Copies of this chain bind each other. A is one copy, B any other.
């Protein structure tokens, strides 16, 4: 920590700050200028709040200079994390993965058809929500465990992996049997109890950035899961809330290269939630991969106009096919490839 004192702060004020730094476990180095004194705290106390120093008398500003995340930092695993799935699909390697499917599980037929279309287009994961967190209590709330079974069945038929959102601790156990990857939604990015439990699970997790979360906060939330012992973790940019209302959110494409630099964890992009309108999904998917994403999470529905939720941002099946074609041509430019379609893996 560094504390910059105000110009002409008193000796008493300086001594008070030094004492409190020492109390916390810092070794303090003092730099005395003509008008301003700077105190550098060296060492790593277990926990302290830099804001407390900011309000001490005579303090101009205080800065935390070591990051609060250790396990999530790039330095912990400079070579990058690769998350390997049962069927051999790897996220975080040279191959870019595609996760696609409807917002909600609505019926067996809808999911079977979705899985077929998603696999045909070249995706490796089937996404779909069984438990739906909706902002209005009067909207469709999901099929629950029955939806999980339907997803597993359909995914298995077409060789896909299953990723679905977990919304609370009690859902973890029943989900374990049916899914390949837990997804933590934007609204739960700081549900720390849930994160801690997911740290104890032996199943990969995809953690989405909250709509008001800074990049640093994403990494602190990742730290919760990592510190529980679960290193099979992936991050996902899916749009932040800004003053612009034309799009549902503002997808922060720059967060992708920033995260790739700061952490060893794979980083995906979710253009569907990022923009909220179907016709903007393909350009944003291309942008995400051009900026370095390790994969994409997208909504596709066999019949978006009849979808029970998020229809407006769901791709038509043929749009997904065309998009994956373009992605296949784009990947080499950023020294990547698109992961082979599961049909090819299984062949």
Residues of B within 8 A of A69 (CB): 136
- Which one of B75, B137, B288, B289 lies within 8 Å of A196 (CB-CB)? B137
Q: Is A283 in contact with B290, judged by CB distance below 8 angstroms?
A: yes
Using Cβ atoms and an 8 Å threshold, which residues of chain B touch A33? 27, 42-43
Is A77 an interface residue when CB atoms closer than 8 A count as contact?
no
* Binary per-residue interface labels of chain A (189-222) against chain B in the complex, 1 for a CB within 8 Å, 0 otherwise: 0111110100000000000001110111100110
- Chain A 242-281 against B: per-residue CB contact (8 Å), 1 yes, 0 no? 1111111011111111100100000000000011111110
Contact with B along A61-88 (1 / 0, CB 8 A): 1010110110000010000000000000
Q: Are B136 and A215 in contact (CB under 8 A)?
A: no
Against B, the Cβ 8 Å flags (1 = close, 0 = not) of A174-187 are: 00000000000001
Q: Within 8 Å CB of A31, what residues of B?
A: 29, 31, 40, 42
Q: Which residues of B contact A210 (CB under 8 A)?
A: 212
Taken together as a complex, chains A and B put the C-alpha atoms of A291 and B251 apart, in Å, by 12
Give Cα distance in the complex from A215 to B218, angstroms: 25
Interface assignment of A232: CB less than 8 Å from any CB of chain B: no
Residue A47 is within 8 A (CB to CB) of chain B in the complex? yes
A193 to B307, CA, bound (A): 23
Cross-chain contact B250 with A254 (CB below 8 angstroms): yes
Q: Which of B40, B65, B187, B192 contacts A60 (CB 8 A)?
A: B65
Specify which of B190, B223, B307, B334 is in contact with A187 (CB 8 Å cutoff).
B190
Q: How far is the CB of A149 from chain B (nearest CB, A)?
A: 21
| Complex-state Cα separation, A7 to B261, whole angstroms | 15
In the complex, chain B residues whose CB is within 8 Å of the CB of A252:
242, 244, 250
CB-defined contacts of A326 to chain B, threshold 8 Å: 333-334
A311: chain B residues within 8 A (beta carbon) = 49, 51-52
The answer for the CA separation of A254 and B29 in the assembled complex, in Å, is: 35
Contact (Cβ within 8 A) B257 A250: no
Q: How far is the CA of A287 from the CA of B256 in the complex (A)?
A: 11
Known A212-B211, A283-B292, A333-B326; contact A136-B47, beta-carbon cutoff 8 A: yes
Q: Which of A38, A63, A310 has the most CB of B within 10 A?
A: A38
**Given A251-B254, A254-B275, A287-B288, 8 other A-B residues pairs in contact with their CB atoms under 8 A:** A2-B63, A40-B40, A137-B227, A167-B191, A168-B168, A247-B254, A254-B283, A290-B290
List 22 A-B residue pairs with CB atoms under 8 Å apart, sorted by A's residue number: A31-B40, A31-B42, A36-B66, A38-B40, A49-B309, A51-B312, A52-B307, A52-B312, A55-B279, A60-B65, A167-B192, A187-B191, A212-B241, A214-B245, A215-B244, A241-B243, A242-B243, A243-B243, A253-B287, A254-B275, A258-B280, A333-B333
